[in-house]
Structure 1
Amino acid sequence: MKEMYPKNGRVILHVDMNSFFASVEIAYDPSLQGKPVAIAGNVEERRGIIITCSYEARAFGVKTTMPLWEAKRKCPNLIVRKPNFERYRKTSLAMFELLRTYTNLVEPVSIDEGYMDITDCYEKGTPLEIAHSIQESLVKTLLLPSSIGIAPNKFLAKMASDMKKPMGITILRKRDVKKILWPLPVEEMHGVGKKTAEKLATIQIKTIGDLAGGNDIQVKQLLGINGERLKQRANGVDNRHVDPDAIAGFKSIGNSTTLPYDSTDEEELKTVLKKLSQSVGARVRRKDMLAANIQIIIRYDDRRTITRSRKLENPIEQDDEIYNAAFRLWKKHWNGDPIRLLGVTAQELIEKGEAFKQLDIFSYEKDAKREPLLKALDELKGKYGDDIVLQGIKNKKQPFGDNEHGTSFEKDFLSDLNND
């Protein structure tokens, strides 16, 4: 089989589970097989939003983020289930365990998708045979459908897995890029969202081919260093390795401040927490990330230091959300002794494009309305300083200085995959 593998390049698979949440529910309740099924938050309320749905439901026009009332109008026989995230987590762990029986080079990128490097797996068959084996094993052992992309790099494998759903297997070689990818609208390219596509349209880049041949200076001026990466990928170039340890990577943003004097004044300490939360929130948003975990540090006057963290039900980015999570931790764990230092850290950062709302997904609608306001506030702070706008803080006095030292603490992203 070795001759079926490249002499110098890599063979990468992208395994993407089809309608994962809905498929898991169908696996647990076989009577749902072949029926239009949707997972939705606030099932009993009209304002509920579709989180995901089966392909049978999609045939009626039901889509992710569609209001539940509209989905039921399009599909009167729609079967709606509340999300069961503990069930999805366990199924995800089992899925990745199965993938690791083929190779140790497995990199989870979300709860329902991951990359595999099978370059040295030629004893197990051709790349196509391995992909079929994985797909069949997932159906046989977990009753779950998947789509798999086979390519020489991660970007092309991801693009390939999106081409045939459900239960598709697609090979995408670098020589196919010009014929298959370049004619596609640029917004169909992995890594290009609606806003980025709108920006690119201002310089007449409307297809992936336009981006591949775009002017380097123009693209970089418009999108920064990300523009360079996107142009490379539009040309089929992606040198990232499949990294099994990526989930345990350093992904946190934090700030701490040493107080000018030891304090037990609750109002003053709350003010410090608010300032730290605003600083962390601004940096999280600048990086287009969401935080799935918040950690605080409390250092007492005798140098005793404690760190406490809280896993969040939904990833967050807003200052008040970060503050509320930090405040609850601080209130629970502060023993009343004088405090010398406080710190707030956003952990388990997730790129916005990869994040999924775990419970009340309809609230993304509210978040989206706030984004222009948050952006304007961040721009004001960047131009005039953090104190130009203080949301919800009484400006009675500012007893503590601005000696904020960045603090960072390693935290596994999707750490369950390592620990369970």
Structure 2
Amino acid sequence: MDQDTLRYGADTPLARRVVAMRSSAVRDLLRDAQRPGMLSLAGGLPAADQFDVEGIERAFAQAMREAPRQALQYGATDGQASLRESLAALMAQRGAAVEPADVVVTAGSQQALDLLARALVDPGDRVALERPSYLAALQAFALSGARFVTVPADADGACVERLVADNGPAPKFVYLVTNFANPTGATLSLERRRALIGWALRRRVVLVEDDPYGELRVEGVAHPPLVALARETPGAAHWCAYVSTLSKVMSPGLRIGFAVLPRWLRDAVVRVKQALDLHTGTLVQEVADRYLRSGRLAQRLPQLRATYGARRDALCDALGARFGDSLRFGRPEGGMFVWARFTDGTDASALLPAARDEDTIFVPGAAFYDDAPDPSALRLSYATLDPGQLAEAVERLARAHRRLRAGNPTAAAGLEAGAAAGH
């Protein structure tokens, strides 16, 4: 009996829902990213060279100096009161007036998604999400037994008008990454945000807005979060849940996420969280609170945005120069990802092994679909490499692409001609 059968087969007592879970393509690729010499365009990791090590170290020291026993003790399930105040203040900066009592602190935003699914979804319930969508959300919702209803997306985010026009059974909730979506990099337009809120109120559907990247806008105008726009319509805020994290702007290692919830949903989520882990770590909460109150995050955001903007431009410029018309992609206004599609028939999943041989990797777009994936699509992350490394990674990717297409001289010649012409 092979190892996979021993681990997952009928001879084991694993739950069916666990056996049915598919492996995360990104998690598997992260192992490759550790290989010496590898230039990874795969993982959605923030730039480690931008971590404010000194500021976080000071916050740790301050927490242990000012409240050591509180920081080392059990805490409240919904989070430390002081941190919830700081997060409410952060939401005000994002244009949403919320009360600290509306905030639940979680172990990263991924836990918030899991808690919401556990609180809302019965097995077989329908959950609507954009297509393609964040793969870890697909995993979390599937583990709770959700069935997916997918909504196509374009440059303005999810095509909300498809939901509005659908008179069939309403989903239990809609999940969207509204700013610089993972994987497409698209931002939901203001018009669609308002249309979605009106529809949710009419159909009594919860809107789960995931906003891990909103602070990473490098150009353009920011739109208010749904939880803020919902205040314009009486009763609409009752259906809006907002999820975010400090992982992309402070440190993912601290595992500080949070959710802003209507009271009925907040109470349910807190009950579920209490059953799962009692509370998020008190020490890291005390550190995060002191860091936010120090003002260092606000001071460092301009530098972080400038760094990501330069890296985005380096990746997009290199892709245009090396691939020409054989690869179509958008230039996102922020975030961490470029979503691209081959126009020459290249299958991104088939390209990955060739790219790995050239010491670069990416995530094939198929990982972000529940079904009927686009084989031509791929997600490229620019966050962790500097501009020179990004140019080299694209050069390696282009070599892999030429090798894969070597059996078709016309296509290979077309790549060279397209590269000469630019994008």
Tell me if TM exceeds 0.5: no
Higher strand share: 1
TM-score by length of 2: 0.28
